[in-house]
Amino acid sequence: MNDIRTPRLLLRRWQDDDLVPLSEIHADPTVMQWIGDGRPRSLEETAEDIEAWEEEWDEEGFGVFAVELLGSGELAGAVGLYVPDSPPEIADRIAITWRLGRVYWGQGYASEAAHAALEFALQDRGIDRVVAAPRPGDSASANVLEKLGMTMEGAVQDPVHGHDLRLYTIDLTEYEG
Ligand SMILES: CC(C)(COP(=O)(O)OP(=O)(O)OC[C@H]1O[C@@H](n2cnc3c(N)ncnc32)[C@H](O)[C@@H]1OP(=O)(O)O)[C@@H](O)C(=O)NCCC(=O)NCCS
């Protein structure tokens, strides 16, 4: 995969020196409250995440990007595509996900990176439909989803953590950016 440049960001695969900055993002309870079981993740768990994303890149030809700020080279977070294990309604479909360090919120970076990830999905990988499954209280994600033109399709339950989830979808063949 070639790196993707947006006006302000570099989306690329993961490098060894991303582990510490990503684990600092994962250590922030406010960043993690709507992700998985809602707990911060340790350095070891962060290493497992990066390993899983890199495996997905190798096996599927898509994955979660490391998002770097052009200019400073800081790691702002992780945005990209993955195949969820659950809930069953979206297992084996292709989902979009995002998390940025708190200092990078409110600047449009998540939307900029997610837009580039959707264009990559359609143009580079021929993926025509992408889903997302945020929790109902995650209004920042709902805002990004709406800006991307993703529409709410219904509600599902996360069988692993017992949370309600909202199911969003987009037909990328009609994506206008
Ligand atoms: C979800 C998350 C990535 C959203 O980040 P965000 O910074 O709120 O989203 P955006 O990058 O779209 O930025 C939004 C705001 O930046 C502001 N902004 C500032 N400069 C901007 C610019 N140049 N371009 C666009 N927006 C800009 C806008 O006001 C915009 O808000 P608005 O759309 O309400 O007007 C972030 O809150 C996060 O990491 N949360 C924790 C992880 C998480 O919950 N992940 C989801 C689990 S499924």
Q: What's the CA-to-centroid distance between 111 and ligand 1, angstroms? A: 6
Q: Please list, in sequence order, all residues whose beta carbon lies within 8 angstroms of the beta carbon of residue 61, skipping any fewer than 6 positions away.
A: 1, 125
- Assess contact for 67 and 113: CB atoms under 8 A: yes
Q: Evaluate the CA torsion angle 39, 67, 135, 87 in order and state its sign.
A: negative
Phi, psi of 18, rounded to the nearest 5 degrees = -85, -15
The mean per-residue pLDDT over the stretch 102-130 comes to 97
pLDDT, residue 25, reads 98
- Assess contact for 135 and 37: CB atoms under 8 A: no
Phi, psi of 53, rounded to the nearest 5 degrees = -65, -40
pLDDT, residue 92, reads 85
**What residues flank ligand 1, with Cβ below 6 Å?**
31, 34-35, 97-100, 105-111, 134, 138, 140-141, 143-144, 147
* Average of per-residue pLDDT values in the chain: 96
pTM: 0.96
Candidate from 22, 26, 67, 100 with most ligand 1 atoms within 8 A of CB, to mutate = 100
Q: Could you tell me the residue ranges of all domains in the chain? A: 4-171
Candidate from 105, 152, 161 with most ligand 1 atoms within 8 A of CB, to mutate = 105
The mean per-residue pLDDT over the stretch 7-29 comes to 98
The mean per-residue pLDDT over the stretch 1-22 comes to 96
Nearest protein Cα to ligand 1, atom 25: 108
3-state secondary structure at position 26: helix
Right CATH for 4-171 from 2.40.110.10, 3.30.870.10, 2.40.10.500, 3.40.630.30: 3.40.630.30
112 Cα nearest atom in ligand 1: 11
Q: What's the CA-to-centroid distance between 112 and ligand 1, angstroms? A: 9
Query: How open is the CA angle 21-145-30, to the nearest 5 degrees?
Result: 40
